[in-house]
Amino acid sequence: MRLILVVCAVFLFQCMCVGIAHAANPNDFQARSYTDSGTGNTLPYRLFIPLNYDPQEQYPLVLFLHGAGESGTQNDKQINGNIDNLFNHVKTPEYSSFLLAPQTNSGWYTGGASLSSSLFMTMEVIQELEAEFSIDHTRRYVTGLSMGGGGTFDMVCKRPDSFAAAVPICGYGDPGKAGALVHQPIWAFHAANDGTVPVENTQNMIAAIQAAGGNPLYTEYATGGHGIWGTVYNTPELYDWMYAQATPEPSAATMLLVGFAMMLGLRVARRQK
């Protein structure tokens, strides 16, 4: 009887901290899609809107990039048990957020200078959502697992000022682009015995960022294999750290310089007519 009471107490404590555990279900998300007018490419995505959404308040946005096993176009495979713990945090009053989960059928990562088509369209989706909803553009967060971990590294390498924090899980990236991440808040995770994406991929990225002058956080589990995301997304300290991050607003001087450059560009354009 005493053991049963202890177990019940632990369960109640966990529910109080994270809310009642609830499996991520596509039906909890709006099914949407974006079509690139230039290429005709389409990006299906799911959107979770904060519970009791109030347009008079501003909410963070968490971008989740799925792994290779969830690739497709049916727009539901990316919402599964992989993000149960992430979902159960973003829907609490403490961390109330939009959760954006696009689905790709062509991968997230590209070794070139530009974003992949899927990541480019994802950024376009974010712009549209910020025009539609009350989203705090200084509190965008990106996370992904496996292939999505590679996409997370690639996204912040090529859009270093777009996300307040990045959480790549068992991912990979291009250490040659680490210089772009010196000022990017990052907390990366990997398991030493990952048999799918070798741990050296994250180790090399973290070492390159540090060598460039950055100070990323890195947690390496001794065991856990490839599927560590359930543990990662159930780490309370992760959310305290992530939600404490915000991208700085441009200074008044910067805004004046941008305005001056735009005026100068208009004058040059008029003279050329």
Could you report the per-residue pLDDT of 73-113, keeping only the tens digit for each?
999 999 999 999 999 999 999 999 999 999 999 999 998 89
Query: For residues 188 and 158, is the Cβ–Cβ distance under 8 A?
Result: no
Element (H, E) at 45: strand 42-48
Q: What percent of the chain has pLDDT over 70?
A: 84
pLDDT of residue 261: 45
Q: How far apart are CA 226 and CA 221, in angstroms?
A: 11
Q: At what angle do helices 117-132 and 147-158 cross, to 10 degrees?
A: 70
Alpha helices in the chain (DSSP H): 2-18, 84-90, 117-132, 147-158, 200-211, 229-232, 236-243, 252-272
pLDDT of residue 263: 52
Q: How far apart are CA 181 and CA 213, in angstroms?
A: 9
Per DSSP bridges, beta strands 59-65 and 135-145 are: parallel
Query: For residues 199 and 222, is the Cβ–Cβ distance under 8 A?
Result: no
- Cα dihedral 90, 93, 96, 99, rounded to 10, equals 30
Residues of the chain where predicted confidence (pLDDT) is lower than 70: 1-21, 250-273
Q: Which CATH class is domain 23-272?
A: alpha beta
Joined tokens for residue 175: 């250490």
Q: How far apart are CA 215 and CA 184, in angstroms?
A: 9
Strand partners of residue 63: 100, 142
Task: Give the single-character DSSP code of 22.
Answer: -
pLDDT of residue 255: 42
Query: For residues 68 and 79, is the Cβ–Cβ distance under 8 A?
Result: no
Q: How far apart are CA 145 and CA 269, in angstroms?
A: 46
